[in-house]
Amino acid sequence: TELELQLAAAYVSDAQYNRNVCFEKTPQGIRLYNLYNHWGMLLVTYFFIILDLALAVFEDPALIPLPLWATFLAELICLAVFTGRLVHFAKVIPWQKFWKDTKNICVVLIILLTLVDMLIYGSMKAFGYYGVRWSRVLRPLFLVNITEGRQVRRAFRSIRNTLPEILYVFLLFIFSILIFSLMALKLFGKRKLVTNEGTPYFTSYLDIVFELYVLVTTANSPDVMMPAYNSSFFFALFFILYILINTYIFMYVFLAVVYNNYRKHLKEEMKNLVRAKRHKMVEAFRILQVKHGGEPVVCQSHWNQLVRLVQPDISNSHRELLWSVCDEDKKGFIGKVAFLQLADLLNIQIITLKSHIHPLQTWFPHLYNSHPSRLVCQMVQHKAFVYVYDFIIVVNAVFIGLDEENPLISNAEWAFLVLYMLEILLKLYTYDPRSFFSRHKFWNWFDTIIIIAALVATTVNFALKSSDGYTSRQVLDIVFILRVLRLIRIVDSVKRFRTIINTLIKIGPTIITFGQLIIVVYYIFAVVGMEIFKDKIKFFAPDSTASAQNYCGNPLLKDTAFAQNNYCRNNFNDIVSSFVLLLELTVVNQWHACALLTSGFTTVTHTAARIFFVLFHIVVVIIIMNILVAFILEAFFVEY
């Protein structure tokens, strides 16, 4: 029946996209569920999640200030959309199931808390009080708890399960730092050594603990050991031992524990996933099965209807291909085992390599088949053609490196553009344009877009120059970027490079999951950081003449290394600056200037602000970055 087919299609679709939702098995239940999974709905949801997150750009402390009512209105719309989505989901699945699922409760709670916070903050503002928009910390959780955030949720679940194991190593690590600090206090505290800045060296226990923690990240090496090393050679041994144990052994043990556990938990999750998928497919089979010679089978006509329902845009030839894979013996029906493959088969991308006839051949057969025309085609298909263009790219690279003020050089650019255009045209003449621009021909697309963009930009630049006598710096920037990007094409000529790039492209989805993970963490730290540090450190444009720019607008920073190094722009004054700063802190994972950065922020607030930075380091470097290593190693082992 129609309902049964619909139900089976829903099951197959769930299996195909690894969904595991227990929807209601009524006609309108299935219809609602299909609507719920429609890509348009997903797009809308993700749009509003991004909008909700992006609100931080416009809220105080804002990069682009907007009035409070505008951001409040936008946020209310977002919340309404999320509520609508949640109500939709509640209609799809049974009521009890809805309230048993943590992620639904989470979303409800976040929405309620956000409303409460908006109410409090709005009334505080209205009466002129100081308020904190604390619920912004919860925003990234929408990204995790929405039904489609499965990958991210899985990653977070794996992290949570890994935490107990990490905790013990972490405690041992902290113990080791405390013991070394105590030893450092006893060894150096009474020696009256001074640091390079002239302050007493290693006299306060808590400062030593912090300095040695930073040393684990190698940020303050070798500065932290120089006073001791200068006083006696043997003290270097203390630091060498410290670094060996805490930087190398412990950091790699962290990696090993995170990697080991993460892999274990992920394998467990994958097993469950496969089990759920199989279960769904078995359900679909049970619905469609008919008896044939005592054995349950699915006949071709049902199967065809099912596939058309699951994937309406599938071509007939593609569907027939899938059937022939399942029904190898051409019996007209398939058994359970063959049926269970369907979800995986539908996930396989099939590239149709039809050798189209070149349109020129259809339009001007005589001309296209003539001798000179064939010669051109042979030339383009020849290996030497690739080598010649590789050589041109290398020459081009040299020209780009030379000074473009020279008229010879700047005119040569036109020659190169013509050469590149010629290459594309020749290729289009030789190969069928439809296959040249087919979906998986990444480099052809890349080439064409870059060259055409370069042509446009260079022309605009030339027009501006000849009319005004000078060009806009922005246009010139774009011209330069496009010129350099053209050179990347040479990578495609070396086979081993292609392999590596393809592997990198294949691990892309993993990286996207990881990207969501890191955005969640960054957003939370950025929002907290903005509340604590906003406007404590001010940035003045380079052409500013204010004397305050020498100390980032905060007298406390006068004559500090932070201000002297011109770090004023590294601040928490808006969400974008915060993200850049957090990235700097991550990158300098073994934070070099973090010590310096941190010192800037502790100077303007309180030494306890170190806790914020240490916490960030623990979360991001010890846990998140090790997870990234685990992600990339695993993905690489599978793909390479």
Residues that bind Na ion (CB under 5 A): 590, 592
Give least dist CB 76 to a copy of itself, A.
30
Nearest CB to a copy of itself, comparing residues 158 and 577: 577
Task: Give the C-alpha separation, 410 to 403, whole Å.
Answer: 9
Give least dist CB 96 to a copy of itself, A.
39
Stretch that binds a copy of itself, among 65-73, 74-82, 178-186, 463-471 (CB under 8 A): 178-186
In the region spanning residues 533 to 562, those forming contacts with a copy of itself, defined by CB under 8 A, are: 539, 542
Asked whether position 517 contacts a copy of itself by CB under 8 A, the answer is: no
Nearest CB to a copy of itself, comparing residues 295 and 477: 477
Nearest CB to Na ion, comparing residues 479 and 588: 588
Give least dist CB 220 to Na ion, A.
9
**Residue 189: exposure state from Cβ atoms within 10 A (0-12, 13-18, ≥19):** middle
Asked whether position 240 contacts a copy of itself by CB under 8 A, the answer is: yes
Phi, psi of 632 (to 5 degrees): -70, -45
Stretch that binds a copy of itself, among 76-84, 233-241, 316-324, 353-361 (CB under 8 A): 233-241
DSSP string, 68-125: HHHHHHHHHHHHHHHHHHHHHHHHHS-HHHHHH-HHHHHHHHHHHHHHHHHHHHHHHH
Asked whether position 637 contacts a copy of itself by CB under 8 A, the answer is: yes
Task: Give the pair of three-digit tokens for residue 235.
Answer: 């003290």
In the region spanning residues 616 to 635, those forming contacts with a copy of itself, defined by CB under 8 A, are: 628-629, 632-633
116: partner contacted, choices Na ion, a copy of itself, none (Cβ within 5-8 A by kind): none
Asked whether position 566 contacts a copy of itself by CB under 8 A, the answer is: yes
CB 551 within 8 A of CB 557: yes
For a copy of itself, which residue of 27, 94, 222, 365 counts as binding (CB under 8 A)?
Answer: 222
Beta strand 333-334 pairing with 295-299? antiparallel
Task: Give the C-alpha separation, 602 to 323, whole Å.
Answer: 67
DSSP state of 246: I
What Å distances lie between residue 596 and 81, 200, 219, CA to CA? 44, 18, 9
For a copy of itself, which residue of 256, 425, 449, 512 counts as binding (CB under 8 A)?
Answer: 256
Task: Give the C-alpha separation, 354 to 368, whole Å.
Answer: 20
Asked whether position 379 contacts a copy of itself by CB under 8 A, the answer is: no
Give least dist CB 592 to Na ion, A.
4
Give least dist CB 513 to a copy of itself, A.
15
* Amino acid type, 192: K
Asked whether position 509 contacts a copy of itself by CB under 8 A, the answer is: no
In the region spanning residues 432 to 451, those forming contacts with a copy of itself, defined by CB under 8 A, are: none
User: In 3D, which of 39, 216, 412 has the Cα closest to residue 224?
Assistant: 216
Give least dist CB 186 to a copy of itself, A.
4
| Dihedral over alpha carbons 608, 610, 613, 617 (to 10 degrees) | -120
Task: Give the pair of three-digit tokens for residue 356.
Answer: 């189209």
Stretch that binds a copy of itself, among 29-37, 180-188, 321-329, 453-461 (CB under 8 A): 180-188
Asked whether position 464 contacts a copy of itself by CB under 8 A, the answer is: no
Give least dist CB 243 to Na ion, A.
13
Task: Give the C-alpha separation, 592 to 590, whole Å.
Answer: 6
Asked whether position 157 contacts a copy of itself by CB under 8 A, the answer is: no
Give least dist CB 484 to a copy of itself, A.
4
* Amino acid type, 204: S
Residues 6+ apart with CB under 8 A from 199: none
